[in-house]
Amino acid sequence: MNINPLRTYSSKRVYYILLVSLLFLYILVYGLPYRPNLIYIHGYTLTKKLISLKYPWQFKDFKTCRTPNFNIKYSSPDEESIEILADAAERALKTLGRDFKFSPARRILIVALDRKDDLSENFLWENKGAVGVYWADSIRVISPASCVFEDYWLDGPIIHELTHYIIDQLAGGNYPKWFTEGLAQYEESIITGRFWLEDRLSSFHSFYEYRRLTGNFDDLKDQELAYYQSYLMIKALVEDKGFDVINKILRDLSRGRTFERVFMSRINQSPEEYFKKINTIHQKEKGDSLEN
């Protein structure tokens, strides 16, 4: 799960102050015209940095496990489970780093929590089964010691959340929610050989239109359907154009271009047209219909 710090109630006031300040600064330095998305990237990045300033004291009572690429904070007495998490994190980064041509500039913070409820308490939202969250340059996951997974590598959240982290670093937060969720699921399926919604596929019938998926992703009633459609979109993109097109899109987004313009320039179709085409093909195979 990816939570945008600029879309949570506690950060909105800070965000708007930063946005207005950056707008005036941008106009002062560069003049008009300006790119709103570029201002958004600067505001988003600064907000993450401000939020991360509290991490040292927020987790001051946690123990630390350091690996070549991660600082893992934990409170569980079961240190063996943290070694499992550390191994999974380094293993995931090796593959994801190759796919996205990404190497972290500093150790990535992972916070291992003891209970699912701890995620809710961290972010003041009702946890509906999430075992991992990416938030403001940090990854929060349920400790392997607290999970019922038979295999933490195959079933745990680390691949999914680390994908969110990498995408966020590469694009500066300038992407729609479905895009990062689709990529996270795609990487999970490729790396582990499993797709988490495999048993639910026969129950998906009336699909969401693109305008709904991209407009209010988190508010859609059937979240599993929304995630599945996101996965289908990414899977089709990679199969059609190769994974390198994903890296080109991310690079373009980091320069402050809109997602719609970037997608059109790289795919020669609007994301809405491409999305509808993919879903129509998929639904014809299943005999389903597209929601109006």
Could you give all domains of the chain from N- to C-terminal order, each with its CATH number? 2-51 (no CATH), 57-166 (3.40.30.160), 177-286 (no CATH)
Kindly write down the DSSP assignment for every residue of 128-173, as one continuous string.
SS--EEEETTEEEEE-GGG---S-HHHHSSHHHHHHHHHHHHHHTT
* Distance, CA of 174 to CA of 217 (rounded, Å): 15
* Distance, CA of 174 to CA of 160 (rounded, Å): 19
Residues in the chain: 292
CB burial readout 230-262, b (16+ within 10 A) else e: bbbbbbbbbeeeebeebeebbebbbebbebeeb
What is the number of H-type helices and E-type strands within the chain?
13, 6
Angle at 200 between CA 115 and CA 263, to 5 degrees: 90
* SS3 state at 63: strand
Radius of gyration of the chain, Cα coordinates, nearest whole angstrom: 19
pTM over 0.95: no
Q: 134 - beta bridge partners?
A: 2, 139
Sequential pLDDT tens for the chain (292 residues): 665 655 554 555 665 566 666 655 655 555 545 567 887 887 888 888 888 889 999 999 999 999 999 999 998 777 888 999 999 999 999 999 999 999 999 999 999 988 665 665 555 445 456 788 999 999 999 888 877 677 888 888 999 999 999 999 999 999 999 999 999 999 999 999 999 888 777 777 778 899 999 988 989 998 999 999 999 999 999 999 999 999 999 999 999 999 999 999 999 999 999 998 887 777 666 655 445 4
* Distance, CA of 224 to CA of 3 (rounded, Å): 17
